[in-house]
Amino acid sequence: MFEEPHSKPLCLALLFACHVIQTCNSAHVLTSGRLSVSIDDHTRAYTVLVDGKSWFNSAGDDLGYSYSADGETFSVSDGTLNPISSATQGKGTDPAGDYESMTLAWGQKGSSIVEFETTFKAYPGRNAIVFQQRWPNALSGLRGSVFPSLKQTYPGKLGTLEYCGSSCGFMVSGKPSFLGISGGASKGYIAIAPSDESGAGTPVSLAIGPLTEHFSNQARPGNTALLYGLASTFDFVPSNYTIETVMVSSADSSKPERASVPSNGETHPDHDPTPKP
C-alpha cells in the first residue's frame, strides 16, 4: 500500500504554524455600545473601533504608553517602559454603571517595581470607554504621561471641534482635519466627526476629554497622534493618584440609550452627554 512518508510531519508543522500565528495575533476586546477597544495580548498595542471599524490605534507617539519620573520619560516606543506582569481582567461598578476592564502594570526596563498602571474600562450597553492612568506610589520629577495615544486609522477625513475659553467651554474652535487642536489647560472636550461631503449629516460622532482631574489631565497634539495624560507642568503625584479620560460616541438612533459624563466630569446615570451627529 502506497504511503506518503512526509504527509504527517507536514500536517503537524502546519497545525503548529497556525497555532503560533493565532497566539501571536490574539487580542482582548472590550465593547461598550458602538465603541470597542482591542488590546493585543503580546505587544499591548490597542485599536479603537466604532461600529466594528478601526478609527484609531496606538501606533503613533510613544506607541500608546509613557510616563515620567526623576526627570526622565519612559515609553514603549524607545523600549524603556516594560510590562511588569500579564494583563489583569476585571469587573466593577462605578456611578456610570457596571464595567469590564483590563489593567496593564508598567515599570522601568529591568525593574520589577510597578510605577504606572493603565486601565481600559468598557460599559456594556453604553457608548463610553474610559482610559485610566494610576500611579501606585508617589513620584516626583514628572514631565507628563501618555494614555491614550490616538493615531487616525479611519480611511476618510475627520474634523475636530475643540472647546476652549473660560471654563473650557466658552468658545469652540473647529478644524477640518484630525489633530487640529491646541490642547492645554484652557481647553475642554474635543468632538470628532467624519467630513460631511453630502450634507446629509454624519452617521456617528465622538467626543473625548478628561473625566477626572481636568486641570492636570490635558490633551495635546503629538507628532502623529492625539495625546491625553498628565500635563508636563505637574512635577509630583501622590500615591494612588488617578486620572481618567473618556471617549463617548453618539447613540445609535435605532437603539436609544444613556451615557454618563456630565460637563463637570462627575458621572451620573441620568445624564446623556453623547454628541449628536
The pLDDT, as a whole number, for residue 10 is 46
Cα–Cα dist 33/14, whole Å:
38
User: What mean pLDDT value characterizes the chain?
Assistant: 81
Assess contact for 88 and 107: CB atoms under 8 A: no
The residue-averaged pLDDT of 58-80 equals 91
The pLDDT, as a whole number, for residue 86 is 86
The pLDDT, as a whole number, for residue 198 is 75
Cell numbers found for residue 94: 462605578
Does residue 11 surpass a pLDDT of 50?
no
Residue 34 backbone zone (phi > 0: left; psi -120 to 50: alpha; other: beta): alpha
Does residue 267 surpass a pLDDT of 70?
no
Q: Is cis: bond before 148, omega within 30 of 0?
A: yes
Does residue 154 surpass a pLDDT of 70?
yes
Task: Specify which of 13-17, 165-169, 217-221, 241-245 reaches the highest per-range mean pLDDT.
Answer: 241-245
Report how far apart the first and last C-alpha atoms of the chain are (Å, whole number): 70
Cα–Cα dist 144/218, whole Å:
10
pTM of the model: 0.80
Taken in order of first residue, the domains within the chain and their CATH numbers are 28-249 (2.70.98.10)
Grid-cell match 490633551, residue found: 219
Does residue 248 surpass a pLDDT of 60?
yes
Does residue 266 surpass a pLDDT of 60?
no
CA angle 222, 225, 226 (to 5 degrees): 80
Cα–Cα dist 102/88, whole Å:
6
Does residue 258 surpass a pLDDT of 90?
no
Does residue 6 surpass a pLDDT of 80?
no
Cα–Cα dist 75/215, whole Å:
23
* Cα distances (angstroms) measured from residue 14 to each of 3, 18, 103, 260: 19, 6, 34, 49
Does residue 122 surpass a pLDDT of 80?
yes
DSSP state at residue 13: H
Please state, as a whole number, how many other Cβ atoms lie within 10 Å of the Cβ of residue 237. Answer: 22
